[in-house]
Amino acid sequence: MPELPEVEVSRRGVAPHIEGQVIRQVVVRDERLRWPVPSTLQNVVGGRIEKVERRAKYLILHTDKGYVIIHLGMSGALRVVPDDTLVVKHDHVELQLENGLALRFNDPRRFGCWLYSEEHPGKSHPLLTSLGPEPLTDDFDADYLFAQSRGRQQAIKTFIMDNHVVVGVGNIYANESLFKAGIHPKRAAGKVSKARYQKLVPIIKATLARAIEQGGTTLQDFTQADGQPGYFKQELAVYGRGGKLCMNCKTRLKEIRLGQRTTVYCPKCQR
């Protein structure tokens, strides 16, 4: 599933081509996504796309006729193409623009979504109103994370992956950040010291920022908006390396299931 860096890379890829453009037509070829594509999506026809925003793993298109909420799901991808480009299988939704381009959404597994909101969804939509802070902003710091962790018995890995605590620290980047911080993924969040949170938070920020810089991580279906793969996979220290030797100490990495997600760690470097 695309995580925060992949979604941010998609945002940066499509924004320059669609911001400022007027929507000529909304084409829905298959409304059967995670939730049915609502007929109200047609409200944005004739509207100008003012901004492409990312909130957590959602993209929000600001128009002067309301807001479009997009989630890539497990296999969704956005492309900006000439509007007469041949339609291929799983091209379910597209916005055709007056400049002759189209924002096209392809989603083989149909777990993505396209929704409409009259008001800014961050203030009104149930999918977004309860989300935690963005990890790359000043709202997410060690003091905040330490305070949120007090009394928590859940594992630190599932704690930092909780979107009510902080958004966008998905499985790949939680594995990598905890390894770099030397924290065992099963350690109770409430038993991690403030000093260790002061180390972990900058690592989370740096890991996510680096992944964005590298165009995301190519795992299964993800490619950038221009069709190119992301390259952060080449820098992964633990994720996907269960049973291989730790890059730091040469101890064999362990792979377990934690919160129903694959978790890889070094039993020597992480405690």
pLDDT in tens, 218-250: 434 434 455 554 445 667 899 989 999 999 999
| 261 catalytic residue (yes or no) | yes
| 6 catalytic residue (yes or no) | no
What are the structural domain ranges in the chain?
Answer: 4-124, 142-265
pLDDT of residue 255: 97
Mean pLDDT of the chain: 92
pLDDT of residue 235: 73
Catalytic residue from among 3, 8, 94, 176? 3
Question: Strand, helix or coil at 203?
Answer: helix
Confidence band (pLDDT; 50, 70, 90) for 129?
A: very high
pLDDT of residue 217: 53
DSSP 85-129: SPP-TTEEEEEEETTSEEEEEE-TT---EEEEESS-HHHH-TTTT
- pTM metric for this prediction: 0.88
CATH 3.40.50.970 fits 4-124, yes or no: no
The answer to whether the 4-124 and 142-265 domains have the same CATH topology is no
Q: With CA atoms as reference, report the closest residue to 72 among 8, 161, 160.
A: 8
pLDDT tens digits, 151-187: 999 999 999 999 999 999 999 999 999 999 999 999 9
pLDDT of residue 232: 55
pLDDT, average across residues 136-141: 97
Q: Cα–Cα distance between 35 and 46 in angstroms, integer?
A: 24
pLDDT of residue 3: 83
Q: What's CA 145's distance to the chain center, in Å?
A: 20
Residue carrying structure tokens 């049915």: 36
pLDDT, average across residues 58-70: 97
Residue carrying structure tokens 């006729």: 65
| 57 catalytic residue (yes or no) | yes
Catalytic residue from among 11, 54, 57, 180? 57
Is the pLDDT reported for residue 1 higher than 90? Answer: no
Non-local CB neighbours of 98 within 8 Å, separated by 6+ positions:
21, 22, 23, 24
pLDDT, average across residues 1-23: 90
pLDDT of residue 222: 37
pLDDT tens digits, 76-102: 999 999 999 999 999 999 999 999 999
- Detail the residues annotated as belonging to a binding site: 90, 109, 152
The DSSP 8-state label assigned to residue 167 in this structure reads: S
pLDDT tens digits, 190-218: 999 999 999 999 999 999 999 888 875 54
* H-helix or E-strand spanning residue 160: helix 156-160
**CATH number for the domain running over 142-265:** 1.10.8.50
Non-local CB neighbours of 65 within 8 Å, separated by 6+ positions:
43, 44, 45, 46, 47
| 29 catalytic residue (yes or no) | no
Catalytic residue from among 12, 233, 261, 268? 261
Is the pLDDT reported for residue 22 higher than 50? Answer: yes
- Detail the residues annotated as belonging to a binding site for DNA: 90, 109, 152
pLDDT of residue 225: 53
